[in-house]
Every structure is written in C-alpha cells, then in structure tokens.
Chain A
Amino acid sequence: MTVTPSRQGPGTAAPGGPAENGAPGTYTASARARRSGPGRYLVWLVAAVVALVLGSAVAVTIGPADVSLAQVWASVAGHLGLPGLAGDTPVPPLTDAIVWQLRMPRVLTSATVGAGLALSGAVMQSVTRNPLADPYLLGLSSGASLGAVCVVILGIGFALPAAAFAGALIALFATLNIARVGGSITPGRAVLAGLAIAQLGSAGTSFIIFWAAKGDSYREILNWLLGSLAGSSWSSVLISSVALVVVGTGILLAASRLDAFTFGDTNAASLGINVNATRWGFLVAVALLTGAMVAVSGAIGFVGLILPHLVRGLSGPGHRRLLPLVAVVGALFLVLADTLARTVFDPRELPVGIITAFIGVPVFILLIKRKRSAAWA
C-alpha cells in the first residue's frame, strides 16, 4: 500500500511541523552567545592590533641587553626621522644598534611571517575544503625550504624568495596530483600526500646541507626544517612584508569568493564562481606567500594550521572578517613564540618551530577530537 500525500490534506504540509521545531530556544541562546556581530568583531580586531603593537614593543626590550620601552621608542622614532617624537630619553649607540639592527628586524620579520603563514593556512583550508590544510602539512613549506637551500648552499642563480616560491609551487602541484583520485581530492589523501612531499623536501634539504658540509650543518638543517628567525635582517623584513602586503591585499579583496567554496565546488559554481581559475589563483598566491615567508624563516609549522581554527571562533567563518583577524593574530602569535624561543633557555636559542609545535600539537589534538564527527576522510 503506497501512502500518497494530499495537496489539500490538513496538517501534512504545514511548514515547520512539530518534528522540525526541536527546542529552538536552547539553540538560539547558545547561538547568540557565540555569534559575533560587527561590533564584537571590531573589538576583537582592535584588541588584536593593540596587543600586536604592545607585544612587539615589549619583545624588542627583551633580551640579553636591558633596553627600556622608552629607549625602544626613542630609537625607532629617531630612525624613522621623527626626532620630535623621540622625547629626551638618551639612547647609547650600542643600545640603538641592538634595537634597530638586531631586535626590530627580528620582531618585524616574526610578525609578517606569522601573518603570512596564518593567512596562507586560512586560504588553503577554504579552497581545499580541508580543515587540516596548511602550508606546512601539505608540503609547501618544506618544498620552499628545499628551493631556498638550493640557492643558499649550492649558489644556484635565483633570488632566494623566487627559489622558495618555485619550491613551494612544485610541492603544491605534487601533493595535489598525488592526492587526486578520479578527479576529486579527499582531505585524508591530501594530508597523506602532503606528508610524503614534506618528508621528501626535508630529506632533500638535509642532504644538500650535508653535501655542502661546512661548519655547523646540524644547526643549519634544524633552522630550515623547524624554522628560525635568528637570521632576520632588514632584508628579511623587506621580502616578507612586500609579499604580505601585495599578496595579502589581493587575497583580502577576493575574500568573498572564498566563502563560495563552503559547500563545495558545484555550489561555488552555482554562485557564479569560476571554480578552477579561482582555486588555482588562490593556491598560487598562497605558494608565493609561503615561499617568501620560508625564504626568511625556514619552515615554521602549525601557525597556518591552528590559528584559522581558533580565530574562526571569534570572527565567524566569513572570510571578510576571518582573514584580517587571522593575519593580526598570526603576527602576534609568532612574535610571542619567537620571543619565547630566544629567551626561555637563554643564552641558548631554540628554533621557533619547536615552540610553535609545543603549542600547536596539543591544539591540533583537540581539533581532531572535537571534529571527529565531521567528514574528514
């Protein structure tokens, strides 16, 4: 006996029948609590920017030589050609050199690299619809390391960031091609393929440094594989900040298009997005950004992976809000992590990637536990 609906039947077609209305009150309350309106978002963004500026200033004062905040201010104002703002704090030449030649480039590089990596991770997670995607996990970072090391050690005639970009791009293509089954890329396979490519890139990097064997190979290998900001100079600031401003602006302008991928490719296409061109445009932009960051800092992990997840809780999933905030929080995070890296075991200095891993892995495990129900495989 087939039961057939009636168009006129009373009740059968009532919108939102009893089954549909399960406890709206409870959900609404919790949703309100988690919702971030424009006002609350702005508060978070301003708070993050203030924290970044203050954190960076304090980070410059921390180190073997004692420097006060006032001296930092005076030194920076002096170098920026604003002596009127410098006040009358005396800055000894040595302190000035420490601030301007050593610590400022390092803190600024940390900030731009952190912003760039967090932005890269957020974009990759969206265009691949993979919550585990980030430049480190999918092999881009180690590809970029390999490219950069080729230039530095073997003296192949590319500019450092260009070689790192090429390495990142090759690693990206390799990962996505290995992960592709029958035209579609599953998150699980992408991570496995990325793992393989990352190992290959790391092995290649280690091999080349050993091959060239000069001085402290082990330390140098660790710096490239785990990431370190110890070698930061004003030229690293230039490379990373130009990449961040140019690529980051492009990504921000197109942020709305990332939203369209939320429900998959067909859905994005039905929203008027040219899916393939848009995805590859974003991925190449991310490779460019990652390449520039790795060229100055080596492969720092977990920044791109965990920060987008944490920041989504504050900004919501919409990319117009997520991307600016994740960039600022990423900058703040790496400034703090690098300050820890160079101070906790003072005078010994750790590669910053050790700190980001110590913080990132527990968060990563939490993410896996929390998202167990989601379709990841």
Chain B
Amino acid sequence: MSVERGAAARSRDDTSGLFRSPPGAPTVTSPDAVERDDTSGPFGSAQGAPTATSAAPGDAGTATAASGVVLDGVSLSIEGTNILQGISATLPPGTVTGLLGPNGAGKSSLLRIIAGIERADAGTVALDGAVVGQLRRREAARRIALLEQNVAPSVDLSVRDVVLLGRIPHRSRLLGSFGGDDDLAVAVEALAMVGAGDLLDRRWHTLSGGQQQRVQIARALAQRPSLLLLDEPTNHLDVSAQLSLLHQVRGLGLTSVLALHDLNLAAAYCDRIVLLQEGRLVAFGTPAEVLRPETIRAVYGVDCDIMPHPRTGLPVIVFSGPDEHAAPGPAAPTEGNP
C-alpha cells in the first residue's frame, strides 16, 4: 500500500496520472518504488492495519532499518485529564503523515512530544533509532524542527533574520553568539528549497500569509532537521496558498508530520494518516484506509461520501450537512418529504 502511494507521490510532478491507480489496489510500478520499499523495511507491514501494531522499542534500537519515527505507547495526562493514551505508530523515512482529529484530540500535544519539547508520561518517541526524550535540547533541535500555528514576531524583522533563527541550535554554546559564518549560506539555501529565494531581503510583516508560512518552513529547514513537524500550516491561508504550501512540503522529501483540519488536503498530500479522537489513536494507515465514511462519522459526527478524485484517483470526501440525510431542509427544496 505504501509502495503504491510512494510512487504516486514521486510521480506527481512529471506525469499526469500515469501511475494513478484506484485506492486499495496496490501495484508496484517503478524501480523507484521498490527502492522505497527497502527503506521502509520491516515496519512497512504495520501500515496495513488500521490500528497499528508497531514494532517494540527494542527493535527500534537494534534493527538497522529503524529509521523514521517510531511512536510507542505515547501517553500524556495533564492534571488528571488524559490528553494522549497509548499512541503507537511507525512513520517510515521520507513519508508525509497527516495528523487528524477534532479540536482537542491531542494533535498539538503529540507534535510537541515528538519534537521533544514536552515529555510523555509513558511511552517513547524514537527518531532514526534515537529516543527523542533522551536527547539534549540542542541535539533534538538539530534533528527535529517544529512549526507552531499562527506565530507572530515581537519585533519588526527581515526574512533573513527569521531564517537565521534556525541556525541557533547549531551554534556553539559559549561563544555561539559570535560564530556562524556559513549560516547565511544555509539560510539562502533553505529559502530556495521552499521557492522563496527572492524574499530574503523582505520585511516579515510585508509578506502574505502563504509567504510567511513558507519562510517559517525555511527557518525550520535551516535547522537541517531529519524530521519536520507542522502544526496546522494551512490555517488562515487561501486555497491557492494551501495547495502550493503542501505541494512544497511534499517536494522536500523529508519525513514530515502535519496536523491538519482539512480532510481533503490530508487525503491529497499525505502518505499516511494518524486519526486521533480524545487522545486515542482511532485509525492509522493510508488515506484510503483511514478516511472511511463510518470512521469519519464516528470521530467527527458528520455524514460523508467518499469518491475517487476525477484526475488523481485519490479519495475525496464530500460532506453532508446534519439534515441532508434524515430530513432535507430548505436547502434542498426539490426533494420534498411528506
């Protein structure tokens, strides 16, 4: 399953649906995809089951293929309230994972735990075999970059200043304030990677929302992370900016975890989806596996139909309002009911 989606992901730029295949019909179509299968290793099999039975942490430490992110029984409670309960999942390297769930499901908390900013009460997060909670702060910041939602700077600053913030974890501790000669080169490169090289000298507050998010991602890339975590990166963006941003994130080829609200964006841009509800893992797998009408109804309380995208074949979720099934209201006057 992951094999097929990997191929689709890689081919999305240069072809128009050559590798398209209906959801749920795995096909290995290119050597590229086979190579990808190798990298995902023994954990690739975990993707099949909606509730993941992930590898034990012992495996993560010893197996050579223990790259990517391994969540093992991550739990968190704050003042007696369970925020997260036993989240386990394996995210192979290079994949984009969507973190879905209603407000308060624990998406942001899980991202903060994966980033090593917050400590889990139980369970571990491992990145490429290293337990994140045991890394020093600066070491974690060199491997994992987290982008919060809706941040604003406290002072007027330039794009260059923003992107250079990402170099802070790479500076030496004592005299770090005066080093970093190659930092600007890294910053320029990071901006180019998100297609924002021309923004280097702009002031932050003159940028559009989409440009600001792009610059923030460049800041994250300047950390040279192997894992990118984005908390609702498409918030407050217009539809064109949402699409181009997620397109850009996919193109980076980094292991990424994105908290998203828009199920259709998740279906279109993510290899895997982690669906949370009230701190519990409801489903984990490919969009086609996770995004089913009965699952969405159970988690969001909304009726929907799922159909293949006319061009890509990827799942498209069409929602129905609360009344549209039971008793059509004035919105659908043609189907009058006695």
Residue numbers of A with Cβ under 8 A of B are 1-10, 12-17, 19-20, 22, 24, 27-28, 30-32, 34-35, 125-126, 129-131, 252-257, 259-264, 266-267, 269-274, 312, 316-320, 375
Across chains A and B, which 6 residue pairs bring their CB atoms closest together, nearest first? A272-B141, A15-B195, A13-B247, A272-B138, A7-B12, A272-B169
B264 CB within 8 Å of chain A: yes
Closest-by-CB residue of B relative to A269 is: B117
Closest-by-CB residue of B relative to A14 is: B244
Question: A318's contact among B161, B194, B201, by CB below 8 Å, is which?
Answer: B161
CA distance A14 to B13 in the complex (A): 10
* Inter-chain contact A317/B248, CB cutoff 8 Å: no
With A15-B244, A317-B161: A271-B166 Cβ-Cβ less than 8 Å? yes
* Inter-chain contact B171/A271, CB cutoff 8 Å: no
Closest-by-CB residue of A relative to B319 is: A2
- Bitwise, B141-163 to A at CB < 8 A (1) or not (0) is 11011111001111111100110
CA distance A35 to B244 in the complex (A): 29
For the A-B complex with A16-B196, A271-B169 known, give 7 more contacts whose Cβ atoms are closer than 8 Å.
A2-B318, A4-B264, A13-B243, A15-B195, A15-B244, A272-B139, A317-B155
CA distance A16 to B208 in the complex (A): 11
Interface pick from B44-52, B87-95, B172-180: B172-180
* Inter-chain contact B15/A263, CB cutoff 8 Å: no
* Inter-chain contact B154/A2, CB cutoff 8 Å: no
CA distance A5 to B196 in the complex (A): 22
* Inter-chain contact B153/A255, CB cutoff 8 Å: no
CA distance A20 to B201 in the complex (A): 16
B113 CB within 8 Å of chain A: no
* Inter-chain contact A2/B316, CB cutoff 8 Å: yes
* Inter-chain contact B16/A130, CB cutoff 8 Å: no
Closest-by-CB residue of B relative to A32 is: B201
B210 CB within 8 Å of chain A: yes
* Inter-chain contact B155/A31, CB cutoff 8 Å: no
CA distance A178 to B265 in the complex (A): 43
Q: Could you list some 20 contacts between A and B, CB below 8 A?
A: A2-B318, A3-B239, A6-B268, A7-B9, A8-B17, A15-B194, A15-B247, A16-B214, A17-B240, A17-B241, A19-B241, A20-B211, A27-B206, A35-B201, A131-B154, A262-B155, A263-B151, A263-B152, A264-B148, A273-B137
* Inter-chain contact A4/B316, CB cutoff 8 Å: yes
- B246-275 residues at the A interface, CB under 8 angstroms: 246-248, 264-265, 267-269
Closest-by-CB residue of A relative to B311 is: A6
* Inter-chain contact B177/A266, CB cutoff 8 Å: no
Which residues in A have their C-beta under 8 angstroms from that of B138? 272
Which residues in B have their C-beta under 8 angstroms from that of A318? 161, 164
CA distance A204 to B238 in the complex (A): 56
CA distance A290 to B30 in the complex (A): 67
Which residues in A have their C-beta under 8 angstroms from that of B117? 266, 269-270
- Bitwise, B164-194 to A at CB < 8 A (1) or not (0) is 1110110100111110000000000000001
Closest-by-CB residue of B relative to A19 is: B240
Q: Please give the distance in Å from B140's CB to the nearest CB on chain A.
A: 7
CA distance A110 to B17 in the complex (A): 73
